[in-house]
Structure 1
């Protein structure tokens, strides 16, 4: 039991990278004219009134987001406020884990030691043996003919966004700042060049972008295709993503290398193993991240760039 607890502690599954505190959430998303909705509570009031105000605060924020109109033009503030959130109110991460339905453990019981690496795999074979079993599995040759391997870099994405990303759809695509402090994709693609190059003294950066803009999708997919090994009857998501998915998914390592550390859910700790695997440039990892607890470490060397999508 102590060994299992130590593994879970080292794995850091209790860290919350998808949520931020309410105060920071509101401060980051309300422009200055709306700050009073957040901060204007009387300094000295009775306990009963304090409780009442706290109970009414979510309603006031919601109404303010719906009906407040800045001078000169109306801004869809509610859409802007929650553009990068899956839910208006997010359940704390520990409660999410508590109410998660238990897994049967069959997806991980047969995985021992190493993650399978495949090449030139037939889609029918992949569908039968790997596609829907939860993974993980690595396909080493899926990106062989992709021009994304050479073309995709920070500056490429910056040019694409500056050319096609000024529409409302691009602004509302989900953005994953993780813990970098970046507010949106526009800010992420406006970093000073020394920081982009990770020069000494600059802050590290790491972000994900779930692109949902059709114009940008067309540009990106000129440089990569649906992985050849996916089952022919599988539907590929129209959204390009990096994380936060609901179905089995693939992720191709276009540049750099990334270590994946996978842990079974708590109910499977005595039946399944912890896994560690490195995905190298040009390789594609396939797994169901709804079943595996996972974290990734970008390894020293070139910047890490990945692209992926869900499939069903």
Structure 2
């Protein structure tokens, strides 16, 4: 399974020096199978981290106004440490990622949204103009003409992954040869959330809410864009967002590897699925661990959003 198991083991290794009775953890199947000697419950590190998070919350309410950031930054993996244990029903007996088409909103909601089962809708974006219009030059022209961070929304983010870029502006300043993945040029892969309303309105002129989402589903306004060349995209991780999400593949091909939560390691399987242009993958990234790899060929471009 790899990283989910390693993270679970790392957490369990820290469960020391506590007076909490063994009964609170020894009955968990995953603990029995990992068999760590001298395992007790919560380590000093865990409690110190918890105290920092609580202090951050209290201090921010007392001293910070206007929606600014917290005085004490949450550790990068803090949300994963404190997440609630997952019910393994979401992944038990799931042996593959279904590929479906021409599905009704009612069936989609019943079979995939409610069950949190990952799925790829093969005709999800086939009719979108974005399949032909979205490319590096399109985004470069669009985002160089607007204030990328207009409004300073709380969740406006840029992910450089393993590149040297520190901002989206630096991405669009790369040479044309590198942008086009010419032979000998260094590969690149980045992601960002669009925080500019004007840019968002232009983007939405090229795509629409996926047809298989019900009319009562709200497509969260903040859109995500991921773009880059062959190689590893996002590392294996789980998100800390509010809702499930969809991601439409508009150019290039991307391999997704999915893993169940660590506590379900012995009851569920790791999955893989290839997503091609015109297809949309739908996944609850808060519950399924996931990583991506871009295959050789065209620049991979995807756009997505959360939905409620």
Q: Where does residue 176 of structure 2 map in the other structure?
A: 193
Q: CA deviation at 1:242?
A: 4.5
Hey, what's the Cα distance between the residues in 2 that align with 1:13 and 1:197? 37
* Secondary structure in 2 matching 1:109: coil
Instruction: Indicate if the aligned counterparts of 2:131 and 2:250 stay in contact, CA closer than 8 A.
Output: yes
Q: Of 73, 81, 102, which residue of structure 1 is paired with 2:85?
A: 102
Q: Secondary structure at the match of 2:189?
A: coil
> 1:174-207 deviations in whole A, cap 9, x for unaligned?
2111221211111111111111122233322111
1:276 match: 272
CA distance in structure 2 between the aligned counterparts of 1:202 and 1:213, rounded to whole angstroms: 31
Structure 2 match to 1:90: 74
Aligned-residue offset at 1:266:
1.0
> Paired residue for 2:150?
168
| Structure 1 residues 221-273: Cα deviation after superposition (integer angstroms, max 9, x where no partner) | 11000000012211111000148533110000000111100111111011111
Q: Which runs of structure 1 show a deviation greater than 6 angstroms over 4 or more consecutive aligned residues?
A: 10-14
Give the gaps of 5 or more residues in structure 2: 9-66, 227-238
Query: 1:124-143 alignment to 2 at 5 Å?
Result: 124-143=106-125
Structure-2 residue corresponding to 1:153: 135
CA distance in 1, matches of 2:76, 2:170: 27
- Cα distance in 1 for residues equivalent to 2:210 and 2:71: 31
Partner of residue 253, structure 1: 249
How many residues of Structure 1 are paired with residues of Structure 2 in the alignment? 239
Please give the alpha-carbon distance, in whole angstroms, between the structure 1 residues aligned to 2:162 and 2:71. Answer: 19
Q: Structure 1 CA distance, aligned partners of 2:299 and 2:146?
A: 24
1 CA distance for matches of 2:196 and 2:72?
22
Return the TM-score normalized by structure 1: 0.70
Mapped contact 2:85–2:263 kept (Cα < 8 A): yes
1:219/1:88 Cα in 2 relative to 1: closer, same or farther (>3 Å)? farther
Structure 1 residue 229 corresponds to structure 2 residue 212: yes
Aligned-residue CA RMSD in angstroms?
2.9
How big is the shift at 1:169? 3.4
Residue 165 (structure 1) shift:
3.2
Match runs of 1:36-47 below 5 Å: none
Candidates 278, 298, 301, aligned match of 2:297: 301
| Unaligned ranges ≥5, structure 1 | 1-6, 15-77
Normalised by the length of structure 2, the TM-score is: 0.70
1:136-187 Cα distance to aligned partner (Å, 9 max, x none): 0110111121110000000000011122336733898321112212111111
Give the CA deviation at 1:10: 9.6
